[in-house]
A = this chain, B = another copy of it.
């Protein structure tokens, strides 16, 4: 089944997630595919987050704490490109709900070392798996040479000048 949007004349109720009939240009379909993949891998994680009353802001913090435990508040603010005022509410939720914990850094007790709790690690793992599972399944099923092609193309799309990209994963 092809993937697209819709064409003029299609009833509004049926227009959602249909194929682009007006503009079947070379790469429009590939672009739509990319968008669909992106929404797919966000949807599952969002559902899990919603179970606990969390949002993507919490996930982003938890993600970086899992990758790099011990980051300070300032580190995370810079990494996520947030002010400390904006950063505080989601962090507070993570701390009071027991997803993360803070301890003063031994070498500089002004700084806080933030790290996920076991419960937080578990949640982050669940979220990560929800996002990774489609990649893992697709790349495994397609075989190593297709996976190599996929990686080459994705690297090319990502571009060489990665340093200029703002940091906003996941």
* Interface size of A as a range: 35 or more
Question: Contact flags (1/0) for A122-154 with B, using CB distance below 8 Å?
Answer: 000000100110111111011001111111111
Q: Which of A19-51 contact B (CB under 8 A)?
A: 20, 22-23, 25-28, 30-41, 43
Q: Hey, which chain B residues are within 8 Å of A138, CB to CB?
A: 153-154, 156-157
A149 contact from B1, B36, B150, B170, Cβ within 8 A: B150
Each complex incorporates copies of this chain amounting to: 2
Name which residue of chain B comes closest to A70, CB basis: B8
Name which residue of chain B comes closest to A75, CB basis: B12
Q: Hey, which chain B residues are within 8 Å of A165, CB to CB?
A: 17, 36, 39-40, 43
